[in-house]
Structure 1
Amino acid sequence: MSLLQGRIVCITGASRGIGRGCALECAKHGATGLILHYYGDAETQDEIESLKQEVAAINAKATIVAVPGDIADPETATRVVREGVEVLGRIDVLISNAGICPFWDFLSMPLSVWERTRSVNLDGSFYITQRVANQMKDQTPQGGSIIGISSISALVGGGQQVHYTPTKAGILSLMQSSAVALGPYNIRANAILPGTIATDINKEDLSDVAKREGMIKRTCLGRLGNPDDIAGPAVFLASDLAKYVTGAALLVDGGLFVNLQ
């Protein structure tokens, strides 16, 4: 099934983790073009090159535009949209995924940690959402689907995440308000709230075997999530299967939230 046939998809933080999983799943579902944002250091440059090869193996017809930059810089969002549209003509889907989570004790947290986490996670999401939304409003045919990768942390707290959880709650709120603001332009906006997904962002935290096993036991499905567990719901929200879905929050956590005992 090619749910995204003919669609141009823009993904921030695409070189690894959830963003990479979404890129591969979009390619599988026939996306015509992929605008892949990545940070741009040597490590992510290598990752994006290998991702290009994986995408080509899945969907040789997909055109890829890779754009580096710090998403916390508003100019990066401007460049992502400009360079993507110059090659591909339009943007049909945005998956705003780029984010960081430097675990830190609240009482000793330097102000710089708070500022950097907020600027990447929340400010960056605002910048790319606003710029893509303007593109979707002005293109013909008008409209598109915007998906913000929030977190279960938008709903619950974490002792080492006092700086992180407010940013993810902000992304959820950003998508809700964007749905209201952008509905008249046929632009849908929804949030995905992943549970504990095994990616580089929490690799160090989950290296604690006892903590990892505890997190697994808290899920209903008895396992941590993988990037492709989020990619499937993202494709759904991007596709016409979700053509009447906007302002929604989709919790994808293996039953972690509901498992009180």
Structure 2
Amino acid sequence: MGLLDGKVLLVTGATAGIGRAVAIGAAKAGADVAINYLDGEGAAASVVAAIEAEGRRGVAIQGDVADRATATSFVDGAVAALGRVDVLVSNAGICPFHAFLDMPAETFERTMRVNLHGAYYMVQAAANRMVEQGQGGAIVAVSSISALVGGEFQTHYTPTKAGVHSLMQSAAIALGRYNIRCNSVLPGTILTDINKQDLSDPEKRAYMEKRVPLGRLGQPEDLVGPITFLASDMARYVTGAALLVDGGAYVNLQ
């Protein structure tokens, strides 16, 4: 039996990186999966094909999480296709690296709308559906080690990830009475499109790798196990928690 047998799981930002890995990993664990994506129909179709190759149902629903209406349309579309919502993984996020002093207002505001506002409305929409269903559920938000530490070129990004972490703590209190568990994962440096350009410098990448006690940067697949655990009934008494998935980077002071 898979840890997510019989569950319906929704993932935002799921055509690449962590979202893609989690969507496919959830199918391997027994879940039917609905994915949200902004663009790239071909990439979305390939994720659905991978889900179906595991013998599970999959559906891709397009929408910009920065638009509040997308949250409702994603949840409604997932229910129409798959019947219910048991788990939401709020993953969609952006990080256009930029210096602080001349940060364009549109860059700051777009990052806020996608990363924080988008997470808020997705969590709210999924939670309302779970309350209506009356059988509880699980919400896992992808925050970041950046919720706990700063970054010179991430002054717009780190506040959003701190906000996502805080949102899960407060939502855990608000939704506990409905048996809806809310937790966050805090990835360290994971090799995805979001930091591909930043890590294209061999010296920068070597430095980052040296900072990690486990000796390597993360892969999207490294998030599958932790998120699957938090989404599963194995974590039935875990809510309001934040799980670092960073190879030990946060605790390395030397």
Q: Which category describes the TM-score, using the shorter chain as reference length?
A: over 0.9
In structure 2, the residue matched to 1:150 is 143
Aligned mates of 2:208, 2:125 — CA distance in 1: 37
| 1:50 aligns with one of 46, 52, 57 | 46
Q: Which runs of 4+ in 1 moved over 2 A?
A: none
Note the C-alpha offset of 1:88.
Answer: 1.6
* Percent of residue pairs bearing the same amino acid type: 58
Q: Is the 8 A contact 2:51 2:57 kept in 1?
A: no
Note the C-alpha offset of 1:87.
Answer: 1.9
Q: Does 1:181 align with 2:174?
A: yes
Aligned mates of 1:13, 1:156 — CA distance in 2: 24
| 1:162 aligns with one of 142, 149, 155 | 155
Secondary structure of 2:121's counterpart equals helix
Secondary structure of 1:184's counterpart equals helix
Q: Does 1:201 align with 2:200?
A: no
Q: Report the TM-score, using the length of structure 2 for normalisation.
A: 0.98
Secondary structure of 1:257's counterpart equals helix
- 1:13-66 Cα offsets, whole Å, 9 max, x none, are 0100000010111011011x21100003xxx21111111222222x12x11121
Secondary structure of 1:35's counterpart equals strand
Q: Is the 8 A contact 2:45 2:60 kept in 1?
A: no
Note the C-alpha offset of 1:236.
Answer: 0.2
Letter in 1 for 2:107: V
In structure 2, the residue matched to 1:92 is 86
Aligned mates of 2:166, 2:52 — CA distance in 1: 35
Secondary structure of 2:4's counterpart equals coil
In structure 2, the residue matched to 1:16 is 16
Secondary structure of 2:251's counterpart equals coil
**Which sits farther off after the overlay, 201-210 or 84-93?**
84-93
Aligned mates of 2:13, 2:92 — CA distance in 1: 4
Note the C-alpha offset of 1:86.
Answer: 1.2
Q: Does 1:114 align with 2:108?
A: yes
Aligned mates of 1:181, 1:243 — CA distance in 2: 17
1:60-71 residue pairs with structure 2 within 5 A? 60=55, 62-71=56-65
Q: Is the 8 A contact 2:33 2:59 kept in 1?
A: yes
Note the C-alpha offset of 1:233.
Answer: 0.3
In structure 2, the residue matched to 1:218 is 211
In structure 1, the residue matched to 2:95 is 101
Letter in 1 for 2:38: Y
Q: Report the TM-score, using the length of structure 1 for normalisation.
A: 0.96
Aligned mates of 2:51, 2:89 — CA distance in 1: 17
Secondary structure of 1:182's counterpart equals helix
Runs (5+) with no aligned partner, structure 1: none
Aligned mates of 2:3, 2:143 — CA distance in 1: 23
Aligned mates of 2:249, 2:43 — CA distance in 1: 30
Runs (5+) with no aligned partner, structure 2: none
Q: Does 1:34 align with 2:37?
A: no
Letter in 2 for 1:240: D
Q: Does 1:134 align with 2:133?
A: no
Aligned mates of 2:154, 2:48 — CA distance in 1: 33
Count matched residues: 254
Letter in 1 for 2:35: L
Letter in 2 for 1:10: L
**Which sits farther off after the overlay, 46-55 or 184-193?**
46-55
Aligned mates of 2:49, 2:33 — CA distance in 1: 13
Secondary structure of 1:99's counterpart equals coil
In structure 1, the residue matched to 2:240 is 247
